[in-house]
Amino acid sequence: MNTFLKKLGMGQKLAKNFWAILIVAFSGAIIYGLPYFRFDYYDAYLKTYHLTNTQMGVFGSILGIFGMISYLFGGVVADRFSTRMILTVSLIGTGLGGFVHLLPLNYYQLVCLYAFWGVSSLFAFWPACVKAVRILSGSDDQGKAYGFFEGGRGVGAALMAMGAVAAFRYGIGRINNEVAGMKAVILYYSILTIAMGIFCFFTVKDEKMDPSDRISFKGIGEVLKMPAVWIIGFVTFCNYVFTLSLYYFTPYATSILGATVTFGAMLAAMKRWFSLFGNIGGGYFSDKFGTSKALLISFIVMIVGTAAILILPLNKSSIVPFTILFIVIYVFYNVNYAQTWAMMDEGAIPEKYSGTAAGIISTIGYLPEIFVSLLAGIMIDQHPGVAGYRQFFGFLIVMLILGAIFVVIWKAYLKKHATAKAN
Residue 4 lies in a domain: no
Residue 66 lies in a domain: yes
Q: What is the CATH number of the domain that holds 313?
A: 1.20.1250.20
Return the biggest CA–CA distance within the chain. Answer: 74
CB 74 within 8 A of CB 126: yes
Residue 258 CB-density burial (10 A; 0-12 exposed, 13-18 middle, 19+ buried): middle
Would the pLDDT of 212 be above 50? no
Residue 146 lies in a domain: yes
Residues 6+ apart with CB under 8 A from 374: 54, 57, 58, 60, 61
H or E stretch covering 293: helix 291-310
Look at residue 219 in the predicted model and tell me its pLDDT.
66
Contacts within 8 Å (CB) and 24+ apart, 97-104: 97/34, 97/190, 98/34, 98/186, 98/187, 98/189, 98/190, 98/193, 99/190, 101/34, 101/186, 101/190, 102/183, 102/186, 102/187, 102/190
Residue 79 lies in a domain: yes
Would the pLDDT of 164 be above 50? yes
Task: List the single range of 294-298, 346-350, 351-355 with lowest mean pLDDT.
Answer: 351-355
* Of residues 279 and 301, more confidently modeled: 301
H or E stretch covering 280: helix 261-289
Look at residue 221 in the predicted model and tell me its pLDDT.
81
pLDDT band at 195 (very low <50, low <70, confident <90, very high): very high
CA atoms within 13 A on the CB side of 369: 25
Q: How far apart are CA 23 and CA 83, in angstroms?
A: 12
Residue 153 lies in a domain: yes
Q: Roughly what angle, to the nearest 10 degrees, separates helices 42-49 and 53-80?
A: 110
Residue type, 270: M
Residue 139 lies in a domain: yes
H-assigned helices in 81-218: 83-101, 107-120, 125-135, 142-172, 178-203
Look at residue 144 in the predicted model and tell me its pLDDT.
83
Does the predicted model carry a pTM greater than 0.85?
no
Number of independent structural domains in the chain: 1
Average pLDDT of every residue of the chain: 84
Look at residue 351 in the predicted model and tell me its pLDDT.
77
pLDDT band at 2 (very low <50, low <70, confident <90, very high): low
Per-residue model confidence as pLDDT tens digits over 33-73: 999 888 778 778 888 888 888 898 889 888 878 877 777 77
CB 9 within 8 A of CB 144: yes
Look at residue 117 in the predicted model and tell me its pLDDT.
93
Average the pLDDT over 367-376 and give the result.
86
* Residue 274: domain span: 11-203+217-422
CB 355 within 8 A of CB 72: no
Q: In percent, how much of the chain has pLDDT > 90?
A: 30
Residue 212 lies in a domain: no
pLDDT band at 286 (very low <50, low <70, confident <90, very high): confident
Residue 19 lies in a domain: yes
* Of residues 3 and 59, more confidently modeled: 59
